[in-house]
Amino acid sequence: MIVTVTANPSIDRTVEVGALVRGGLHRATAVHIQPGGKGINVARALVCNGVKARAVVPAGGAEGEQLIGLLSDYSIDVVRVPTLGPVRMNVSVIEPDATVTKLNEPGARLTDDETTALADAVISASHNASSLVLAGSLPPGVRGDFYADLIIRLSDRDTRVVVDTSGPALRAAVAAGPALIKPNHHELEEAVGRALPTLGHVVEAARELRSLGAGAVLASLGGDGAVLVDAENTWHAEAPVVQARSSVGAGDAMLAGFLAAGGSGREALVSAVAWGAAAVSLPGSTMPRPDDLQPHLVEVHPGISTDRALRGDT
């Protein structure tokens, strides 16, 4: 069983429009309303591919009811932690060339009691977990070391803890020694405090985060694919997307693909990149199903082209 935690879930509205003009009126050509937040997306991708997943989700208000309702379309074992404040709504605007503009709300403040209830629910929901995924931003009221504390509390278990977050929460989590982190390009730059214009810079930064405590680093690089740095190896892999539609949730699909394929090594990276590329070809934050996956199109490069300039599109 893979357990995911989404401390700050959302209802995602993905709105497709013509070219975006700041200050202009845009008539939507399509709208997708989907359950959101990184851990929820990882769980959706897993169950869409026959892998069992449990999702721990704090949810309150009418939006919380709607989120739980949307989740009932998936065979996820949902552990709901009731909260007073409502679940946030995040909006992504997609232009015809698949450019995404994201508007993420901060989320409602969690009280101290709600934060404690969430942490306790995670500990009990992950009793039989092979992997525990701590994913997404932290809502107001939750301290930046929330994920780090969970890693420490779970350190005597066999569960592999995986972290996909940003900013101070990521820095704190790294120091607590997670098995794996999944930053995108921007989150990796933020974590090391400098720009990473080339593949070589990304690999250096990933090694730095390993030296600070992360067991392995799976860095997603948008159209440039992904890099995996673990104790033994460094790999770069990428796959073409014939027609990009929406990259919302691509990183979450990618992490799910990595875990579904065992969560370490070359073959897991191939699976990750195949799932990420497939997600980009689907509307909104739709997660790929087996028929959408094309692992044979994934290219794993024999060495790292350290001077390769990155597009920086994450």
Measured CA to CA, the distance from residue 226 to residue 231 in angstroms comes to 17
Please, what is the minimum distance in Å from the beta carbon of residue 10 to ligand FBP?
4
Report what 203 binds from ligand ADP, ligand FBP, none; CB cut-off 5-8 Å by kind. none
Residue 223 binds ligand ADP (CB under 6 A): yes
Q: Which amino acid is at 206?
A: A
Is the distance from CB of 46 to CB of 53 less than 8 angstroms?
A: yes
List 131, 137, 271, 286, residue binding ligand FBP (CB under 6 A) = 137
SS3 310: coil
**Among 13, 63, 9, 10, CA closest to 33:** 13
| Shortest Å, Cβ 24 to ligand ADP | 25
- Considering only 78, 79, 217, 277, the residue that binds ligand ADP (CB under 6 A) is 277
Gap between the Cα atoms of 31 and 170, Å rounded: 32
Which of ligand FBP, ligand ADP, none lies near 178, with the C-beta cut-off 5 to 8 A by kind? Answer: none
| CA-based nearest residue to 12, from 141, 85, 103 | 103
Segment interacting with ligand ADP, rule: CB under 6 A, options 69-77, 115-123, 166-174, 276-284: 276-284
* 252 catalytically annotated: yes
Is 247 an interacting residue with respect to ligand ADP (CB under 6 A)? yes
Smallest gap from Cβ 244 to ligand ADP, in A, equals 5
Tracing tokens 């394929």 back to the chain, one arrives at 261
64 binds ligand FBP (CB under 6 A): no
Contact call for residues 55 and 43 (beta carbons, < 8 A):
yes
Total of residues contacting ligand ADP (CB under 6 A): 19
In the block, residue with structure tokens 């939750």: 142
41 binds, among ligand FBP, ligand ADP, none (CB under 5 to 8 A by kind): ligand FBP
Q: Is 284 helix (H, G, I), strand (E, B) or coil?
A: coil
Quick check: 225 binds ligand ADP (CB under 6 A)? Answer: yes
Taking the C-alpha atoms of residue 221 and residue 7, their distance in angstroms, rounded to an integer, is 24
Residues with catalytic function: 252
Query: Which residues of this protein are in contact with ligand ADP, per CB under 6 A?
Result: 184, 220-223, 225-226, 239, 241, 244, 247, 250-251, 254, 273, 276-277, 280, 314
